Structures are given as structure tokens and as C-alpha cells.
Amino acid sequence: MKANYLDDLNERQREAVISLKGPLMIIAGAGSGKTKVLTTRIAHLMRNGVDAFNILALTFTNKAAKEMKERVEKILGGNEARNLYIGTFHSVFARLLRADAPKLGYPGDFTIYDADDAKSVVKTIINELNLDDKHYKPNLVYNRISAAKNSLMGPEEYQHDYYIQQEDQRASRPLTGKIYDMYAKRCFKNGAMDFDDLLFKMYVLLKSFPEVLAKYQHKFQYIMIDEYQDTNPAQYEIVKLLGAVHENICVVGDDAQSIYSFRGATIQNILQFEKDYDDVKVVKLEQNYRSTKSILNVANEVIAKNKGQIEKNLWTDNAEGDKIKLIRTNTDNEEGKFVSDTIAEQKLRNHYNNRDFCILYRTNAQSRAFEESLRRLAIPYRIFGGLSFYQRKEIKDFIAYLRVIMNSRDEEAIKRIINYPVRGIGKTTIEKVSIYANDQNITFWQVLENARDFGFKGGTLDAIDNFVTMIQSFRIMLDKHNAYEVAVQVGKSTNMVKELFNDKTTEGLARYENVQELLNSIKEFTETPTEDGELLDNKSLGIYLQQITLLTDADNTNDENSDVVKLMTIHAAKGLEFPVVFTVGLEESLFPSGMSINSREELEEERRLFYVAVTRAKSRLFLTYANSRYRFGQLQQNEPSRFLDEMPENFVDRSYAGGGLRNTGSVGGGVSWGGMFDKKRTTPAPAASNPLARTAPKPAAAPVSTHVPTPGFTADDPATMEAGMDVEHQKFGFGKILNLEGAPNNRIATVMFPQAGGEKKIMLNYAKLMIVKK
């Protein structure tokens, strides 16, 4: 191990590391070496005789947990760190619950419902109650239930809380409490816990079974919590219970980076930590090792607008660096083009690799323009977030089989696969089974097992019986075979693999490959020994299923070091850093989000989000916004974000934002009409349209499908079209009609589009053309 691990720390960091006993709060500013302190502290604990077995470290993401574990191992060397309990709240509690779930009436192999499963259950219940789904939107109702659980409020309490009832009344959803009650019962009946239950039930377990609480209080003598500013009341209470005996609780966080209140997190947890225990030691890490002075000054000045923060003064010894660059473009597409052009230019000028760049946005939907422009310049990229691997349809379908095999009570999973692949069990049958199950208060599966007794006959009965027999055969197989072998058999027996294999479309091919990848991951799982001292030989399918439900896209670290530009939401970027950052879409109603401009609290959270975005950058930061962008299908005009006004002038270069703050000009875009028809252009987009590309203008080029329709674009009636006309198409741009054919009500035009690869046949009923010149 490294002998001098304490020498690498500054004075404050060292103080935090060597304060081993008693409650400790570390206020860790952005880029102040938080992870280093946490990991060194764990190592130091162990060097001072604390058994890894007695240390619990809770993080927010799997990725953070993994990194922490690796770094501790690096300091200590060997595999001393193996017995550490490091993980996310959710995964650690899922593991603990696995042991004691039967005490609460759940199977040890309980299913974990992801948000999709949970919403689907809510939706089913709303339908069963015959409620008007105009008022009872599954999404909103589920959010309400989730918020209740995060505050440790059960269905009973919910229905008797005057204030809550008033709120639901006002929202025209008075029966939300009833739905919550039924939802909780249904999940229980299905042997399933949702994400929030992993916290909620953990709390219930500790509260109801003193011997269980005592066991863990004894085991976890030292507790560390990362990102404490993002914990919710349930997490807070659990930590309080677990740490009550030893009180060796170390929380690390930064109130300025609290960005998860929508998920029930309360910034009060960190603001009030000092009041929760006697003799709390507070250490502030204020030296930033990440960013330039320019970047840090901008961040500090903006966040200072928020009220009621923990006092701190983040500073750096780093160079002043370039000013932050603010760029305005006309449209969202031009914003994408600007960013891609600048990446290409910066790679040449400053010798960056693709991996040095990150594009940060407020909402996932914003990624598209950047994908297109990056693809056009052949710059490799990867989007984090959005649909994770395990949320793809073909994967969820396959996993649903495994879930049903493990847990016959899992109604959501059964419904998903009972007719996939198609086997003649349709909607009507499913509905009948559902009704019988509810009437008799038995599970969906039990009805299927006894289908004949419930009056199903003929082809339907055969289909159900075959399905039941097939699932049962998988279950028997599980006794003697491992998860991988069973999964392969599932793929064979159901014909799923073959079916996907025979689908030769691009998507079909991708789906086939995804399923193969899933099988590989199961194989890998069965061949890797567990690290946490649990049974090594019998790696059950149940554990695998519980694990993958808690994984997200960002945890897919296999191409961690691949040289690609990264795209993600600001939320997903928390804890990361990049040499060059583009924070895009800085417009009112987008960032800050239109949903969050109605209260000071919400607005301050948006500002913290902006702070997080700015502080991800090490040396260069570009902020961009567009005059107008497509949202909700139509062009929308936006004012620049208010956060831009809050930045100090002397560290910001606004010369590419039209000089002033408001809409007085813009960058890029201005491709003239004459240019559009210039057939000689065949190479990429004009570099001149990139304001920061001061190098000699590159040869101009014909962008493919980058066309921005002229304002007020409206399609003209196909009947009025004639050969020889100049027309505009929304995607292909301007062109000339060469020929017209087909029936009068289904005319097909041959159009020459100079900028979109030449002649195209267009079915006028589908593609919309606007006549430019007759």
C-alpha cells in the first residue's frame, strides 16, 4: 500500500481524513477532492484497526460506489477492501432486505419494480376503479405516491392527513390515497417492491424488528454518506437509526449542488446536520483543484444569488484561463452545428481528444441536434442517460420471462409476456384472468394454473395451459442449472431468439444483438464470484434480477475510456469533470425550466443546477443559446436565460452573443438563398459560420438534411403543383420539380434537391412541399 497516503492531502483534507470518531460533516465544494478524502478516510480507518466489515459507505450512483471501492483498493493494495459495504442506498438496502424480507411478508427473492412497472400498476388500478384518466394521470398519481414514501408516509397516514387530502382535493384527485392503498397492496401481493420501497421497507424493518436494528447497528460502526445534500427524509431516518449507537457518522456534501428535490431530497438534511448530533465536527474543503479562476469566479458569483447557504469561499491556485464564451445562434440546429464545429476546431488548435469534450443540457430531448451535427462531422460520441440497456423493449421482454420464473406472483411481468411471442392469448382473456384474480383474491398466476376451473375452453385454454407448462418447465430446470443455462433455454423455447434473428431490418438486427448481449451478461454474472461474503456457489437468478433493475445507463462503464464526446443531462454529470464543457440551451423556460420558475425554492435549485454545470469544466467553458428552437413540434422563441445576466462581465466573453444581451443578432446560420442553389458545393459546412473558428475559412460544403425551413413554412396543395416549379421541403430544403406522375389523388413528384443529394421521388400526400416560385 501507499505509505504516504496522508501526504497527498492538503491541511483541510487531512483533518477530515483523520477525524475518525463522532459525527463529522465535510462541506466539499466542487472539485475540492471529495472522493479523494472519502476514500483516503476509509483507508485510514482500516489502517487504524477498523475491520472493513464494520464500514458502510452509501453513495448516490453505482458509478460513484464503484469508483470509491476501486480507489480504496488502490490505496490499500491487495483485497482488504473486499468486505467493505459500499453501494447506493438502493442497492445496499436491497441486499439487506433480501435477508429479512420474509419478516415483512415478502419473498426473499422479491421483484424490484422499476418506474415503468410501477406506473403500469398505478394505471391498472385507475382503470379498475373506473376513474376518469383526464384527472387521474398515472404519472402524477405515481409521483404523489413516491413522494409519500420518500417521506415515510404509508397509505393509512396519507388518507388521514388533512393537508394532503386538501391538496388532492384541490387537484381534483381526491381518491389518490385510495389508489396508493391499492397500489401498496397490489405490489405486496405481487411480491414486488418499487424503488421507494427499498428505502421505505428498510425503515419499517428497522423500526419493527429491534433485533434486526441492533444487528446492523453493531455491524456498521462507521457510516459514510456521499452527496448528503441529495438525501431524502427516508434516507435520513434510516441513517439516523443505523448510526444511533456509535454515532460515527460522516456526511459529505455541498449544499450548493443540491439538485434532486424533485425526487424528495431535502436540502434541510445538510443544513441542519449540526443540530442533529452533539459535538458535530465541521470541515470545509474550499480549495478547488479542477477549474480555472475564470470558471470558478463565474460559478461563485452566480451561486451567491441564492439565499441561506452554508458559508464557504471556494478558491483556486489554478491559472486564470480563457474567459467563458457565450454564444448565440438562431436555431437549435445551428446551436448543434456550432458546438460540433467548435469541437473539431478545438481538437486541431489545442490538441484535444474527443473524450475531453462534454455537452451538457437540461433535458434529454435536447440531444438530437447535437447527435446530428456530430454525426455529420464524423465525430464519435456517446449519449448517457435516456433509455438504459435494460429498459429496451426486447430486453424487458426477455427479463420478464426470468422474473416470472423466479416469482410467479409478478403480475406485471406475466402480462408482459403472456402473449409475447404471440400465442393467442389476447386482451379479453387477460382481462378475465385479472377479474377472477381480484374477485377470488388469488394471484394472476393461480388463475392461469387453474384455467379450466375458471371456464376457459378450446384454443384459449390450450394456449394458457401450454404457457403454464412452459414456465413450470423452466422452474424445474432452475434446480439443476444456473441462470445462464435457463436463460438460453428460455430464448430457445419461446422462439424469441429465432424470431429476432429472422428480422433482418436494422432495428431487428440491433435487437438480436442486444439479446445476445443480455445473455452474455448473465453468463458473466454466473461466472463471477460475489464479493460480499454471500454464498459463492449458488448465484441465483433472483440476485441477478435485483441487481440489474438498479443499474442505469451511466453504470455501463465498459467503454469508459473510449475516445468519444460525451452528451448528458446536467443531473447525470454531477461528480464528473471535463477539460472542455458546452452547456447548451440557456434559455428561459428551458433552463431555468418553465416548470420551476414559480417559486424561489425551485428557481434556486435551477441556479444550483447551473452552478453544477459550470463547475464541471476544467479549462474551457462554452455557454450557448438559440433565438428559437423546435419544441412541441413547433418553432418557439425564447429569451436568453436569466442566469446569463447574473454572470460577472470581466470573466465572460460575450462578443459572440450579438454584443448585447437581448436579441440583437446571432451567429452562424446565415446561409443565403443564392448559396442554397449553388450546385458546385459538395463539401462540409462553411467554417466561417463558426464564430470562434478564426482559422482560414474551410471550403464550403453541402450539409445533408440540415435544412431549416423558412419561417412560416406551410405546405401547398399537391393539386397545384406543376413541373418546373421551385419548391421547398422541410428537410431536403429547396429544389425544382422535374416531373409529376401518379393518380390525381396520389401524385408523385420527382424533385431535384441540390443540397440533399440530388433527385428524390416524393409522394405529395405524405411529404409537404411549399411552392417558392411558379
Partner DNA sequence: ACGAAAAACGTTTTT
Partner DNA sequence: CGTTTTTCGT
Catalytically annotated residues: 34-35, 226-227, 257, 616
Q: Smallest distance from the beta carbon of 138 to DNA, in angstroms?
A: 9
Contact yes or no for 487/404 (Cβ under 8 A): no
66 binds DNA (CB under 7 A): no
What's the first-to-final CA gap in the chain, in angstroms?
80
Long-range contacts made by residues 425-432, C-beta under 8 angstroms, separation at least 24? 425/460, 425/463, 425/464, 425/467, 429/456, 429/460, 429/464, 432/456
Grid cell for residue 107: 419473498
Q: Residues for the chain: how many in total? A: 774
90 binds DNA (CB under 7 A): yes
Q: Comparing C-alpha atoms, which of 305, 294, 382 is closest to residue 592? A: 305
> Is position 528 annotated in a ligand binding site?
no
- In angstroms, rounded to a whole number, what is the distance separating the alpha carbons of residues 99 and 422? 38
Is the CB of 351 or the CB of 427 nearer to DNA? 427
62 binds DNA (CB under 7 A): yes
- In angstroms, rounded to a whole number, what is the distance separating the alpha carbons of residues 622 and 653? 10
- In angstroms, rounded to a whole number, what is the distance separating the alpha carbons of residues 127 and 646? 48
Q: Smallest distance from the beta carbon of 385 to DNA, in angstroms?
A: 4
Q: Select the residue interacting with DNA from 29, 55, 56, 60 (CB under 7 A).
A: 60
Q: Smallest distance from the beta carbon of 311 to DNA, in angstroms?
A: 26
Could you give the string, one character per residue 173-212, with x where binding to DNA holds by CB under 7 A and - elsewhere? ----------------------x-----------------
For 521-664, where are the E strands, in sequence order?
Answer: 565-569, 578-583, 617-631, 634-637, 652-656
Q: What are phi and psi of 552, to 5 degrees?
A: -120, 175
Instruction: Give Cα separations from 7 to 27, 289, 578, 648 (angstroms).
Output: 21, 16, 26, 37
Contact yes or no for 136/179 (Cβ under 8 A): yes
Q: Smallest distance from the beta carbon of 610 to DNA, in angstroms?
A: 12
- In angstroms, rounded to a whole number, what is the distance separating the alpha carbons of residues 433 and 2? 63
Q: Select the residue interacting with DNA from 137, 215, 382, 747 (CB under 7 A).
A: 137
> Is position 39 annotated in a ligand binding site?
no
Q: What are phi and psi of 725, to 5 degrees?
A: -75, 150
- In angstroms, rounded to a whole number, what is the distance separating the alpha carbons of residues 523 and 487? 9
Contact yes or no for 256/286 (Cβ under 8 A): no
> Is position 78 annotated in a ligand binding site?
no
Q: Smallest distance from the beta carbon of 226 to DNA, in angstroms?
A: 12
> Is position 31 annotated in a ligand binding site?
yes
Is the CB of 351 or the CB of 504 nearer to DNA? 504
> Is position 369 annotated in a ligand binding site?
no
- DSSP 8-state secondary structure symbol assigned to residue 323: P
706 binds DNA (CB under 7 A): no
Q: Smallest distance from the beta carbon of 596 to DNA, in angstroms?
A: 5
Q: Smallest distance from the beta carbon of 28 to DNA, in angstroms?
A: 19
Is the CB of 403 or the CB of 571 nearer to DNA? 571
Instruction: Give Cα separations from 225 to 83, 203, 214, 237, 727 (angstroms).
Output: 17, 17, 20, 13, 62
597 binds DNA (CB under 7 A): no
- In angstroms, rounded to a whole number, what is the distance separating the alpha carbons of residues 517 and 398? 12
Q: Smallest distance from the beta carbon of 254 to DNA, in angstroms?
A: 17
Task: For residue 365, count CB atoms less than 10 angstroms from its CB and return exposed for 0-12, middle for 13-18, buried for 19 or more.
Answer: exposed
> Is position 29 annotated in a ligand binding site?
yes
- Residue pointed to by grid coordinates 479542477: 290
Residue ranges in 564-583 that form contacts with DNA under rule CB under 7 A? 568-569, 571-572
Using DSSP, state whether 759 is helix, strand or coil: strand
Is the CB of 390 or the CB of 651 nearer to DNA? 390
554 binds DNA (CB under 7 A): yes
- In angstroms, rounded to a whole number, what is the distance separating the alpha carbons of residues 589 and 639? 9
Is the CB of 116 or the CB of 157 nearer to DNA? 116
Q: Smallest distance from the beta carbon of 256 to DNA, in angstroms?
A: 16
Q: Select the residue interacting with DNA from 19, 306, 730, 750 (CB under 7 A).
A: 730
Contact yes or no for 622/583 (Cβ under 8 A): yes
- In angstroms, rounded to a whole number, what is the distance separating the alpha carbons of residues 220 and 238? 12
Is the CB of 363 or the CB of 663 nearer to DNA? 363
> Is position 458 annotated in a ligand binding site?
no
Residue ranges in 408-447 that form contacts with DNA under rule CB under 7 A? 419, 422-429
> Is position 705 annotated in a ligand binding site?
no
Is the CB of 150 or the CB of 521 nearer to DNA? 150
Is the CB of 363 or the CB of 655 nearer to DNA? 363
Residue ranges in 370-389 that form contacts with DNA under rule CB under 7 A? 385
135 binds DNA (CB under 7 A): no
Is the CB of 80 or the CB of 602 nearer to DNA? 602
How many helices (H) and strands (E) the chain has is answered by 29, 23
Query: How many residues of this chain bind DNA (CB under 7 A)?
Result: 47
248 binds DNA (CB under 7 A): no
Residue ranges in 598-657 that form contacts with DNA under rule CB under 7 A? 602, 630-633
309 binds DNA (CB under 7 A): no
Q: Comparing C-alpha atoms, which of 642, 687, 679, 668 is closest to residue 755? A: 679
Residues at the annotated binding site?
A: 28-35
Residues near DNA (CB under 7 A) are 60-62, 88-91, 114-115, 134, 137, 139, 195, 259, 262-263, 362-365, 385, 419, 422-429, 460, 550, 552, 554, 568-569, 571-572, 593, 595-596, 602, 630-633, 730
Residues at the annotated binding site for ATP?
A: 28-35
